[in-house]
Structure 1
């Protein structure tokens, strides 16, 4: 089970760069390094276009995983390879939209069923989200991470509907080398931290080749859909979402429909599916910064399960879930519970 959890964290990293959109980097050149906006505008190009390899640790609650990553941008395409460092070996290799996952002795793993969570997962939408409208950015000092000089940037939530963040950005590239998600009381809910890192434009080709033996699962990821949330909410509606959360690429889950939203740093998804048995779960759980809230919903004699999952406080997830209404159970393919 630990290996499978780690594998899902690896997939999270892939979704982080898969869902990015190019921001206008020319604006960064017009600002001073003392301006937090300078670093915010460098963040997306740094994540996509910086070539690097290293090892990072990712912690959510009591789950801690370490992973080796190699990433490069060549000929207009992102290439990436991630290898789990704990437990049995497993790896994921990505070239553009093509992804190969190898998990020895664990059989098939559905890449399109991964729920986005973790640092920067699904955080960038098909719109340019004004992050500083929902977070107060502040440079809070300098530091060193994995032998690299970094700028420490705080992004303090302007309301209680989202968490605050801190980022440690490598000075020459803007690449995040460490990140924390913080509660309103300042508690660290989850973090990632590079322990070793090499930034280079001449990484060897073999670093981006599958090297593990085992069953391979291949997928070609679809480009982010331009569909609106209303088009995705077939048979149901969402009456409320926090200000600033815009439509983002949504994962798929079983036979149900999912709609995802992001404010530029955090994201959450709403799943609506048929409740097929009396033992369907409901209630709340939290791992690190990721909240999962499940609510049973009935319309006539038909039962449904609403799930909200994402890097948002419990109160926000609960309010989102309570705003879901079933309009047409036939469209959802509801069955008697």
Structure 2
């Protein structure tokens, strides 16, 4: 798979799952809360607030906006997002099922939600101790999209992750704005520009637009049912606190995703035959892409594998992860490609 497809794969995961980060919980009042207690509200990601609105998401010089309708009813989350820029596209979520409607690809079902971006629901439900890897602090009050918010800072406890700044609505805990930061620089920015928190939304707001032509297609990125499984290769190092999560399979190799509850990175391993990509790192916003070649051993030096790490981690961290990958059984890896 080419670099553009690798980045698109991880970006698509982020797009689908970034919407699940908008979690909300009842609170006792901002004046009674500490930074730690606010952070605990993000963990379970129950998504129990009903709202509609428009948010913008910027990464580097890329800016996009989405319209969202979200509700929690009868114990199930329902959510619909409509792209506001570029080509038409929609994402519809019902519980753990996600349907992407894209003009070029028709309908794509994702049977599992892959954690990515801040507070991905599927991973946060495992109650990852985010506070073990980030130091939370109260930074004051603000107002976003007409709603009062409390501002929480998350300072990384090591050099292997970025920092975050969160704006949470005072009465529901809904995340209204977030920054991914490094050394005072904002690398990525999410923010509601229009928001209405309400008691209920009609069914009509969760129906695919009738004018969009769709067809059933096989997902380009089927999801592995064995998170963290590496067959034929091994990962020698990863930052402390990053645990295996569900990951997409590809038609040329394997992928494994890891998350610490806030940040996510994916490791792709594929045969390098016919692939001529430069080694090294590049970064768009907070997303690093690091490419590295590896061989099973000196006797198999001509049999190369391309290791790609894509995720919201610093370039030095991505480099260390990629260079720790070893291919110990190329035959086993080849068998997984035929499954």
Q: Normalized against structure 2, the TM-score is what?
A: 0.84
Q: Distance in 1 between matches of 2:115 and 2:123?
A: 12
> C-alpha displacement at 1:206, in angstroms?
0.7
CA RMSD of aligned residues (A): 3.5
Asked whether 1:249 is paired with 2:246, we answer yes
> C-alpha displacement at 1:74, in angstroms?
1.4
CA contact (8 A) 2:45 2:124 kept: no
CA contact (8 A) 1:125 1:246 kept: no
Give deviations 1:183-242, integer Å, cap 9, x for gaps. 1x11000010000111112111111000141224578999994x463xx11001111111
**Unpaired segments of 5 or more residues in structure 2?**
1-6
Q: Distance in 2 between matches of 1:47 and 1:13?
A: 19
Match of 1:208 in 2: 206
CA contact (8 A) 1:122 1:267 kept: no
**Equivalent pairs, count:** 323
CA contact (8 A) 1:290 1:311 kept: yes
> C-alpha displacement at 1:133, in angstroms?
1.4
SS in 1 for 2:304: strand
Asked whether 1:264 is paired with 2:261, we answer yes
> C-alpha displacement at 1:70, in angstroms?
0.7
Match of 1:161 in 2: 160
Distance 1:240 1:122, change over 3 A: farther
> C-alpha displacement at 1:88, in angstroms?
3.1
> C-alpha displacement at 1:278, in angstroms?
4.7
SS in 2 for 1:333: helix
1:234 paired residue among 231, 236, 253: 231
> C-alpha displacement at 1:43, in angstroms?
1.8
Q: Distance in 1 between matches of 2:47 and 2:214?
A: 29
Match of 2:41 in 1: 42
Distance 1:294 1:192, change over 3 A: same
Greater shift, 36-45 or 302-311, is seen at 36-45
CA contact (8 A) 2:149 2:167 kept: yes
Q: Distance in 2 between matches of 1:268 and 1:110?
A: 23
Match of 2:313 in 1: 312
Give deviations 1:134-157, integer Å, cap 9, x for gaps. 111001000000000100000001
> C-alpha displacement at 1:14, in angstroms?
3.0
CA contact (8 A) 2:115 2:123 kept: no
Distance 1:9 1:332, change over 3 A: closer
Distance 1:44 1:75, change over 3 A: farther
Match of 2:3 in 1: none
CA contact (8 A) 1:101 1:218 kept: no
Greater shift, 295-304 or 316-325, is seen at 295-304
CA contact (8 A) 1:293 1:321 kept: yes
CA contact (8 A) 1:123 1:267 kept: no
Distance 1:170 1:9, change over 3 A: farther
Greater shift, 113-122 or 58-67, is seen at 113-122
Match of 1:151 in 2: 150
1:193 paired residue among 182, 191, 194: 191
Distance 1:32 1:234, change over 3 A: farther
CA contact (8 A) 2:42 2:119 kept: no
SS in 1 for 2:200: coil
CA contact (8 A) 1:189 1:288 kept: yes
Q: How does 1:53-68 map to 2 (within 5 A)?
A: 53-68=52-67
Asked whether 1:295 is paired with 2:288, we answer no
Distance 1:262 1:94, change over 3 A: same
SS in 1 for 2:123: coil
